[in-house]
Structure 1
Amino acid sequence: MDYKAAGAPKKGKNAPKHSEHNAHGSRKKPFGQRPSKEELLARMKAAAEANKAG
């Protein structure tokens, strides 16, 4: 019998295994703030209009 495995499982650390290479605020995007929802929606709508017109 494996007595080592009989205990309760260890809790997860709830942290990513690695950081993204282009995360907001990192060395590759030092001033990269996340765009606001309004900016994102405006950009998506403009892209949709460009696709519809083109």
Structure 2
Amino acid sequence: MDYKKSGAPRPDRNTPAHREHNSKGTRKNPYDARASKADLVARLKAAAEARKARADD
């Protein structure tokens, strides 16, 4: 008897166990959505100001 062929097939190894909440290609995170450089710089400046204000306290 060929025991290798018995039982259920093995699952794929390269598939994730579940879908991520922020995966690319979803309605909330489409493939072509890119933040502009100005948005990025503004966000970094706001974070730096928040860190500076927190350090002053």
TM-score by length of 1: 0.47
Task: Kindly name which structure, 1 or 2, has the bigger radius of gyration based on alpha carbons.
Answer: 2
**Higher relative contact order (CA closer than 8 Å, sequence separation 6+):** 1
TM-score by length of 2: 0.45
